[in-house]
Structure 1
């Protein structure tokens, strides 16, 4: 019995109504060569002794019935024996036993031998069964010592994608195909958004107005979040021995290159903007001029104004109290958070420079103050004399606002504040930027595109690549070179003429007849 045994049994009952099981006389029948099993009656079964409990108490044997053939019963008996033989340690044998009984109760099948073998070898918790959703919740709870914005990104990926698509799957049964299926579903949803927007039907377009397609770069970040969470499950909790997120293939991320707003591109953009406004008016819908201005079709996600466009914008921006903020972004390439996070103590009027040592970013809608994320972003950059002069005028205006505010003034120390001295919300800078650009009659770009424009201006002016890299706060000049390769048409034409002028080609001799 220690190694298990097979037998045949049935559901017949005696005169008192008790099941007689293996004692039923119908299980065997006589024939030539003696008595043999009756194939038309009963089912095959097996019984296997199990390791005792930790306190030495005997455990009920594993008894399984309902097999159509002796071979089937012996196969499962061998399976159960093999599981118990995976490790000689009594404690591990008890955990294997508990796993066997638990899985049999849930699935009516024994656990896979190779799966249990891997768990035993890597000392995983055999009996812990958590879903992907449960583990991701625990993963977020453990990530306490990270920046708020990073945590927010993890939480968004978990809430919007990972839990809805994968949450119900048991963690140890998560497959590569499950993760690939999630990204297939995301791409299908992208197609739905594109189809609705291309329909021309205002009602259908309105339904997806605030739904943005999930781009390839975002998919890579979603996978990175899942891969990180699963790596912790492997290394710290030994819940897995393989990370399926590490081998899922995704479309390569092609970083969009800045594209300059040439005259031809502006004409097409204005036509699309006008068509959107006219369509809304035709159906009696509200004309959201800024919404249409931002959403009108552009040749590239990253568009750059020409020097003439940038000059027109800065001229119009002079009417606004945040004029110097936009000038710093447009000429020195500050990020939005770095510009609104600039402090007076980091402005060096004597040296003509500013220190980028602080930033204000957004966590959802909530502004978050913090240090720049990388060492390269924490930097000191030179500022032109005109901008320094404008910063002095801005400080004088701020002093007048302080007097007007009286006791309500908040001495925050930031260069750019609201009328009461409070730190500027980053979205305020963005909203005002769109209005100024719209009023100036310029083609739409994002506020961050002013930073791209600054890079292109510096490169077009002949500034060395290393200086551009340090000014922008990039880690390497390779990234700077690969991202900012656009040049203005007139600069490209001048470069072509200069190159051709270096080569003198004598005129071709006349052809003889």
Structure 2
């Protein structure tokens, strides 16, 4: 039986720099000529993708290694956790064999059985979590297209069904940040608390990682200012990571409100007494938020203490991070200009601040209801 084979150059291997060739064999000369013409045309157009045996898992590993040069360690950790949800079902498939149907099947599985960690492994993942995994997968596959490992991003048009999003909204009750009365009750209830100053810093809009990373060198008690330039966070609640602020905009100088300034002065004096009492056993860590022996607090420890105080005071349990929302909602409601609000929050764009941190409740809307009376004519009727 006669068969027809051709060898064609398909470019240079970007990793080795060597010329790459492709061999193809066909039963008929017509088929061989057609395929040869197709390959050379695509090669000349720059759209030809040479065959490879890279699996989805292998490409995700390479992609994360590339991203590590541009992203912080905590972000890469988040990416790894997010993509772990994908690997088990899709990871062993060859990258070039992956189809849109594969991704859709994974999405449907994830929405019903996708949790892979902890005691609830095998239970449904929320639509938001699945969407985050999809977003990372789309990004990784998009880079694979750029690298000419695949011809098309098969996940590009896979989305979360509208029904799944609606069901999640119905079942997931959004916890509103504290209103003004709740904030004031908390402040009044913790006046004698050792961490009073640190908790006030949270209530003036600092992220928990910024509170834990604040150093006395960054505090100017004479000018009543603090410099936000350092953070201390945790990976998986297991070990501490110290790093710069989340973004360039996050590095900022903030004025200290009078109550916070007074609390910081008192806290520093208390730490001086504690250091004197312990002598050489005291740990000199330079951080503002420290234990009685001088060792720095972790975010986990700060959160636990805050939650315990909420319980003791009979307040709704909200995330410590949501103190930012309470702060910025109050500032926005009281006329602080947008550019000041964004600068205080450490954001480049005020749209970010307003979208995620300004959350007026029904009481904040009372003024609008009163204003509406003018449209109704209620005020005029009363005068008449």
Same-fold status (TM-score > 0.5): yes
Q: Go from structure 1 to structure 2 and tell me whether the alpha carbon gap of 1:207 and 1:131 turns closer, same or farther (over 3 Å shift).
A: closer
Number of equivalent positions: 360
In structure 2, the partner of 1:131 is 55
TM-score normalised per structure 1: 0.62
The answer (yes or no) to whether the contact 1:341–1:360 under 8 Å persists in 2 is: yes
User: In 2, Cα distance between the equivalents of 1:186 and 1:215?
Assistant: 8
Offset at residue 427 of structure 1 (A): 0.6
2:98 maps to which of 146, 169, 174:
174
1:82 maps to which of 34, 53, 56:
34
User: In 2, Cα distance between the equivalents of 1:52 and 1:463?
Assistant: 70
In structure 2, the partner of 1:228 is 139
Offset at residue 450 of structure 1 (A): 1.5
2:335 maps to which of 443, 451, 462:
462
Offset at residue 85 of structure 1 (A): 4.8
The answer (yes or no) to whether the contact 2:138–2:153 under 8 Å persists in 1 is: yes
2:153 maps to which of 240, 243, 262:
243
Q: Go from structure 1 to structure 2 and tell me whether the alpha carbon gap of 1:184 and 1:390 turns closer, same or farther (over 3 Å shift).
A: same
User: In 1, Cα distance between the equivalents of 2:277 and 2:92?
Assistant: 59
Offset at residue 360 of structure 1 (A): 1.1
Q: Go from structure 1 to structure 2 and tell me whether the alpha carbon gap of 1:165 and 1:420 turns closer, same or farther (over 3 Å shift).
A: same
In structure 2, the partner of 1:276 is none
In structure 1, the partner of 2:227 is 355
Contiguous gaps of at least 5 residues in structure 1: 1-45, 55-60, 65-72, 89-116, 192-205, 255-296
User: In 1, Cα distance between the equivalents of 2:332 and 2:110?
Assistant: 38
Q: What secondary structure, in the 3-state scheme, does the structure 2 residue paired with 1:247 have?
A: coil
The answer (yes or no) to whether the contact 1:124–1:240 under 8 Å persists in 2 is: no
Q: Go from structure 1 to structure 2 and tell me whether the alpha carbon gap of 1:225 and 1:350 turns closer, same or farther (over 3 Å shift).
A: same
1:141 maps to which of 65, 68, 72:
65
Give deviations 1:272-291, integer Å, cap 9, x for gaps.
xxxxxxxxxxxxxxxxxxxx
In structure 2, the partner of 1:188 is 112
Offset at residue 485 of structure 1 (A): 4.8
In structure 2, the partner of 1:440 is 313
Offset at residue 169 of structure 1 (A): 1.4
Q: Go from structure 1 to structure 2 and tell me whether the alpha carbon gap of 1:469 and 1:166 turns closer, same or farther (over 3 Å shift).
A: same
Query: RMSD of the alignment, in Å?
Result: 3.5
In structure 1, the partner of 2:3 is 48
Offset at residue 302 of structure 1 (A): 3.2
Alignment map for 1:98-497 (pairs within 5 Å) = 118=42, 122=46, 126-145=50-69, 146-159=71-84, 161-189=85-113, 208=120, 214-236=125-147, 238-250=148-160, 300-330=173-203, 332-364=204-236, 365-497=238-370
Offset at residue 184 of structure 1 (A): 1.4
Offset at residue 486 of structure 1 (A): 3.5
Moved more, 176-185 or 480-489: 480-489
Offset at residue 212 of structure 1 (A): 8.3
Q: Go from structure 1 to structure 2 and tell me whether the alpha carbon gap of 1:508 and 1:377 turns closer, same or farther (over 3 Å shift).
A: closer
Offset at residue 396 of structure 1 (A): 1.0
Q: Go from structure 1 to structure 2 and tell me whether the alpha carbon gap of 1:412 and 1:298 turns closer, same or farther (over 3 Å shift).
A: farther
Q: What secondary structure, in the 3-state scheme, does the structure 2 residue paired with 1:433 have?
A: helix
Give deviations 1:68-95, integer Å, cap 9, x for gaps.
xxxxx65xx643443345467xxxxxxx
Report the structure number with the largest CA radius of gyration: 1
The answer (yes or no) to whether the contact 2:283–2:294 under 8 Å persists in 1 is: yes
The answer (yes or no) to whether the contact 2:110–2:125 under 8 Å persists in 1 is: yes
Give deviations 1:49-74, integer Å, cap 9, x for gaps.
435899xxxxxx96x9xxxxxxxx65
Offset at residue 495 of structure 1 (A): 4.8
Q: Go from structure 1 to structure 2 and tell me whether the alpha carbon gap of 1:460 and 1:339 turns closer, same or farther (over 3 Å shift).
A: same
Contiguous gaps of at least 5 residues in structure 2: 10-23
Give deviations 1:280-319, integer Å, cap 9, x for gaps.
xxxxxxxxxxxxxxxxx99843322232221222233234
User: In 1, Cα distance between the equivalents of 2:362 and 2:112?
Assistant: 38
User: In 2, Cα distance between the equivalents of 1:221 and 1:427?
Assistant: 24
User: In 1, Cα distance between the equivalents of 2:369 and 2:279?
Assistant: 60
User: In 1, Cα distance between the equivalents of 2:362 and 2:42?
Assistant: 62
Moved more, 338-347 or 172-181: 172-181
TM-score normalised per structure 2: 0.81
Offset at residue 436 of structure 1 (A): 0.4
In structure 1, the partner of 2:16 is none
